[in-house]
Amino acid sequence: MRKIILNQKKDCEPHSVKYTSIDEHLMNFGADIKEIERVKRKYPMKIPHYFLGLIKEKEDPIWKQCVPSIEELKDVYNIEDPLREEKHTRVSCLVHKYPDRVLLLVSSKCAMYCRFCTRKRKVGRTQQISMVEIFRAIDYIREHKEVRDVLVSGGDPLTRTDRELEIILKELRSIPHVDIIRIGTRIPCVQPSRITKRLANMLRKYHPLYINIHFNHPMEITEESKKACETLADAGIPLGSQTVLLKGVNDSVEVMKELVQKLLSIRVKPYYVYQCDPVMGVEHFRTSIDVGINIMKQLQGFTSGLCIPHFVIDGPGGKIPISPQYVKEITPEEIIVTNYLNDMYTYPNSHKVFSNELINKERLRIGLTFNLKRDPAKNERFDKYSEFDDISTIDAIRKAIESGGYEVVLLEANLDFIEKLKKTRVDFVFNIAEGINGDSRESQVPAILDMFNIPYSGSGVLTQAITLTKSMTKDILLYHNIPTPNYQLFKNTRQKLKPALKFPLIVKPNCEGSSKGINNNSLVFDDESLTKQIKYVINNYSQDALVEEYCNGREFTVSILGNVKPKVLPIVEITFDHLPENINKFDSYEVKWIYDNPKNPIDPISCPANLTPKLRKQVEKIALDAYSVLGCVDCCRIDLRLDSNGIPNVLDVNTLPGLIPDPKQNSRFPRACFAAGMTYNQMILEILHAGMIRCGLRNK
Ligand SMILES: *Cc1c(COP(=O)(O)O)cnc(C)c1O
Ligand code: SF4
């Protein structure tokens, strides 16, 4: 075998460069040697002759692992020691990060300098570790009785001579509490001739000894590397593999599957696949985490379990296994899982184990009840699901509740809701479900929760039912002398308009939210258009039409949070200046959802609204009075508009205000909370806690 060629040249001027045989070999494949030289000055190159011989073409998986690439100098994202190994280094050349095992670094040299190495900052640049340092580290192990497993690593420990290695192993074996010795090496893969019978015979004296070999690609499994592994396995040494997931090298299911199967056939058990660490100079090798998860998903079940490694990310906190999710839900009765083909199964739980260990009583389980937005079917009205919530909102609320230290169970309030609820045993529910079907649908989930005696956030059955019915809400407000426009309910178009009602009038469905059924034509100025619009509402929304006097002044919405002394958040004003001339200046469906959408950069909201102190007090008082007489709790958003006398009139009471997290979507309740200095998470937790305090689950 030709001698390994050394990396750094003291004199870097191009004319003085003498090409080595490696350079020549790479140039034959069309390498840019000048570029390689530049990279080598920062990150040395070393390629064993054998490994060089595995290259079939430029940029193939073997090449990428060992030949310097200009990309290494372009990495602006990463830092040198993301694993913070320096911090865990108690004695030089020893990393003690886990309770019962340590990493003992016995060589700073490697047979090859892998371009993606996690210890890129060190390899090939530091002095060889001295035997004195190693002895000092072994003394540490001797003093720490908790260490039962020593992982001998580097660099590459097999760059040491057999004699040096034996001294180290003998020393470790003389420590009674050291049970397992492991060697981590890449040499059987990159320089298999180093694995001699003599070496194996020496190693076998120190059993139980394990070796983990770093393999990354099926092309590395050759007659030579196979023989090296056999030599070790024949010495009774169990072999494992470690692989780094590398873009362009092994980031596909096909390659990884071939690799793990071939490893098993040369008696190497796949052990870990590492997500490539965010180390400076290796960004071009990094894949997204999904790639690894997907590969694992396509291995498990599709090939022998013996071939399946653990996919891990390594960080300052140690290795963390990342695996595809097979568990969908765990309930006290059963576990719901999917298999490798994504078929769903349930498996009975053991009640005893569950009640003793899995249900941690300190951590309350919060059910999150919601209705998920979907596209309307062909025979359904276009706005059928516009009150429902997007998965992004549900997810943001889930995370916010979790940030308060709770466990969250998602409960979609569809027709299986009762069955799900029975199975999950939640302590409290955070309710944003709008309900399905019927005029009082917002009260469905509260009613079911009441039935099961499960406390929940937000207003109760009666309030939800009343506030979804505008005429009922207005009757109660009028009874309490809270200003709201005069109105008349139309069950059909034959009814006569009461003389007391003066045009212009506005026509709305009696039981809808989110401006449904209110469009640009809803504002009417004469009998003819009134009749037309009443017909539209009755026909399209199958409910009574509410006709009320139009308030032509400014429009506000007031968010209220809490109980006993509810808090009024900064008032939101709805502005209409951005609308085209022909669009009426009120909160119609078009205004709310079409002229205001995330792609449209206009901000149709001003918060806090610019109000005189007198008007602000007046608006706040009316909103609070409405909140109180209607029996609202925890949170609510009340829409008001100034009439021609400048008096704020209550238009609508929203007991389930929208909670969209993205500020660009101008969800009004969150906007008011943001203006009050709250974060989204704080807002959700404040609603949750208001409910929990009210129900006696939490102290004020
Ligand atoms: C990987 C590693 C070990 C060994 O971990 P296992 O999961 O037992 O293989 C020990 N110490 C450090 C610092 C490590 O990075
Ligand atoms: S053998 Fe291991 S330690 Fe050495 S350069 Fe390669 S990856 Fe890094």
Using the mean position of ligand 2's atoms as its centre, give its distance from the Cα of residue 248 in Å: 18
User: 125 with 26, same domain?
Assistant: no
Q: Which atom of ligand 2 is nearest to the CA of 123?
A: 5
Nearest CA-CA partner of 456 in 426, 418, 412, 413: 426
230 and 160 part of one domain: yes
Number of domains in the chain: 2
> Nearest to residue 261, comparing CAs of 276, 249, 243, 275?
243
The answer to whether position 680 is within a domain reads no
- Banded model confidence at residue 8, pLDDT cuts 50, 70, 90: very low
* Percent of the residues in the chain that have a pLDDT greater than 90, as a whole number: 67
Question: pLDDT at residue 13 above 60?
Answer: no
Q: Same domain, yes or no, for 60 and 104?
A: no
Contacts of residue 130, Cβ cutoff 8 Å, sequence gap at least 6 = none
Q: What is the pLDDT of residue 11?
A: 43
Same domain, 120 and 258: yes
- Alpha-carbon span 209 to 393, nearest angstrom: 53
Rounded to the nearest angstrom, the distance between the alpha carbon of 257 and the centre of ligand 1 is 24
pLDDT for position 338: 86
Q: What is residue 3's predicted lDDT score, i.e. its pLDDT?
A: 40
Predicted local confidence at residue 512, as pLDDT: 78
**How much distance in Å is there from the Cα of 103 to the middle of ligand 1?**
7
Cβ neighbours of residue 456 closer than 8 Å, sequence gap 6 or more: 369, 428, 429, 430, 431, 445, 446, 449, 691
For residue 323, being part of any structural domain is answered with: yes
Q: 182 with 51, same domain?
A: no
pLDDT over threshold 90, residue 341: no
312 CA to centre of ligand 1 in angstroms: 11
Report which of 366, 367, 371 is spatially closest to residue 434, judged by C-alpha positions: 371
Residue 244 CB: number of other CB atoms within 10 A?
23
Ligand 2 contact via 671 beta carbon (within 6 Å): no
Pocket mutation for ligand 2, best pick of 153, 194, 214, 279 (most atoms within 8 Å of C-beta): 214
- CB of 244 within 6 A of ligand 2: the answer is no
Assess whether 62 and 116 both reside in one domain.
no
Q: Is the pLDDT of residue 618 over 70?
A: yes
The closest of 636, 627, 650 to 458, measured between CA atoms, is 636
The secondary structure of 406-426, three-state, reads: CEEEEEECCCCHHHHHHHHCC
Does residue 608 have a cis bond before it (omega within 30 degrees)? yes
User: Which of ligand 2's atoms lies nearest the C-alpha of 119?
Assistant: 8
* Among the listed residues 337, 333, 331, 327, the one whose alpha carbon sits nearest the alpha carbon of residue 351: 333
CB 114 near ligand 2, within 6 Å: yes
Atom in ligand 1 nearest the alpha carbon of residue 271: 9
> Same domain for 201 and 337?
yes
Domain assignment of residue 173, yes or no: yes
Q: Decide if pLDDT at 247 tops 60.
A: yes
Mean pLDDT (the chain, rounded): 89
Does residue 139 belong to any structural domain of this protein? yes
Atom of ligand 1 nearest to the CA of 272: 9
Partners of residue 568 on adjacent β-strands: 560
Ligand 2 atom with the shortest distance to the CA of 184 = 2
In a domain? residue 477 = no
Pocket probe mutation, ligand 2, options 4, 105, 123, max atoms within 8 Å of Cβ: 123
Residues in CB range of 578: below 8 A, 6 or more apart:
595, 602, 604
The answer to whether position 586 is within a domain reads no
Cα of 191 vs centre of ligand 2, distance in Å, is 13
- What secondary structure does DSSP assign to 78-92, as a single string? -BS-TT-HHHHBSST
210 domain-assigned: yes
- In a domain, residue 591? The reply is no
Please check whether residues 149 and 190 belong to one and the same domain.
Answer: yes
What burial class does residue 233 get, using C-beta atoms within 10 Å of its C-beta: 0-12 exposed, 13-18 middle, 19+ buried? middle
State the alpha helices, DSSP H only, in 204-288: 223-234, 253-265
Q: Which ligand is nearest to the CA of 149?
A: 1
Question: In terms of pLDDT, which residue wins out, 353 or 164?
Answer: 164
Decide: 119 in ligand 2 pocket, CB within 6 A. Answer: yes
Which of 331, 353, 375 is the C-terminal boundary of a domain? Answer: 353
Indicate whether residue 551 lines ligand 2 (CB < 6 A).
Answer: no
The pLDDT of 530-540, averaged and rounded, is 89
> Are residues 151 and 236 both part of a single domain?
yes
CA distance 353 to 370: 31
C-alpha 389/C-alpha 686 separation (Å) is: 20
For ligand 2, pick from 104, 119, 217 the residue to mutate: most ligand atoms within 8 Å of CB: 119
- Same domain for 251 and 171? yes
Give the pLDDT score at 124.
72
Q: What is the mean pLDDT of residues 333-342?
A: 83
Asked, as a colleague might, if the bond just before 208 is cis with ω within 30 of 0, I would say yes
Question: Which numbered atom of ligand 2 lies nearest the CA of 187?
Answer: 1
Looking at the fold, whether 60 and 140 belong to one and the same domain comes out as no
Query: pLDDT for 351-397, tens place per residue?
Result: 544 444 444 456 889 999 999 888 877 777 777 777 788 888 999 99
Residues 315 and 199 in one domain: yes
- Which atom from ligand 1 is nearest to the alpha carbon of 88? 13
- Structure confidence by residue, pLDDT tens digits, 447-477: 999 999 999 999 999 999 999 899 999 999 9
For helices 391-403 and 680-694, give the axis angle rounded to 10 degrees. 70
Question: Residue 7's pLDDT band (boundaries 50, 70, 90)?
Answer: very low
Pocket of ligand 1 (CB under 6 A): 95, 97-98, 101, 103, 151, 319
pLDDT band at 17 (very low <50, low <70, confident <90, very high): low
C-alpha of residue 203 to centroid of ligand 1, in Å: 21
Residue closest to 48 by CA, chosen among 19, 8, 6, 10: 6
Q: Which ligand is nearest to the CA of 188?
A: 2
CB 103 near ligand 2, within 6 Å: no
Residue 552 corresponds to which tokens in the numbers above? 């032509």
Structure-token match 């027709």, residue found: 415
Q: Which domain holds residue 29?
A: 4-70
Q: What is the pLDDT of residue 598?
A: 61
Identify the domain boundary among 353, 378, 403.
353
Give tens-digit pLDDT for 111-148: 999 999 988 877 777 889 999 999 999 999 999 999 99
Q: CB of 115 closer than 6 A to ligand 2? A: no
Per-residue H/E/C for 165-202:
HHHHHHHHHCCCCCCEEEEEECHHHHCHHHCCHHHHHH
From 334, 353, 372, give the residue that closes a domain. 353
- Judged by its nearest atom, the ligand closest to the C-alpha of residue 109 is 2
* CATH number assigned to the domain comprising residue 272: 3.20.20.70
Q: Contact at 8 Å (CB) between 471 and 464?
A: no
